[in-house]
Amino acid sequence: MMTDLDEEQDAYPDDLYDMYSSSRRSQGQRSRSQANRVTYIEEGEDDYPDDDVLDDAEFEMLNARRSGGRPSAQCSPVDNRASSRSRRPPPQEQPQVRKIRVKVHADDTRYVMVGTAIEFRDFVDQIRIKFGLRTNFKVKIKDEGDMITMSDQDDLDMAVQASKAAAKRSREEMGKMEVWVQVV
């Protein structure tokens, strides 16, 4: 036995369906059999190529902000190398390290600026002039926690190369070195 409430609830889904239906019929003209009709899609050949082709294709994800706020529904195969190259900022040129700021510790601490092609004798003379030293002294540099005496051009060249490499890694135009002066 159906009550008025049951009939009202049973009619509601049809009315709701009719309201969103794409047909132009009015609500009253829609028959119950048409509302319950099920439409089947025939199975057959699909419009897509083999799955292997789709698996090998590369697709580019598009940003919704670039397309004016609306996401694009189109995906197209892209050459991944070309698209990533176009989005990267141009590579920054490595700065040329031509000067080295040497922090020299003696009675006090001072800076001495030297070129990367400095001779050992000129390096020692700059320190002598900067500190006003008239006696003999040794120049020491810290390497892996040990104090190493810098005694010739080879030692200075290794220290200059290390400071140039550190400056290039941090993309600076000036190298930094730290030495200690020990009066003999």
d(CA 6, CA 17) in angstroms, rounded, equals 18
Mean pLDDT on 50-70: 58
Low-confidence winner among 12-26, 69-83, 146-160 (lowest mean pLDDT): 69-83
Six-digit token string for 12: 């509601």
Four-point Cα dihedral 49, 52, 58, 59, nearest 10: 50
Largest interatomic CA distance in the chain = 121
145-171: per-residue pLDDT in tens? Answer: 899 999 999 999 999 999 999 999 999
- Rg over alpha carbons for the chain, rounded to the nearest Å, is 40
Per-residue model confidence as pLDDT tens digits over 79-127: 555 555 556 666 667 778 899 999 999 999 999 999 999 999 999 999 9
* Domain range annotation of the chain: 51-87, 99-183
CATH level 3 topology of 99-183: Ubiquitin-like (UB roll) (3.10.20)
Q: What angle do CA 41, 44, 49 make, to 5 degrees?
A: 120
E strands, the chain, are: 99-105, 109-115, 137-143, 146-150, 174-183
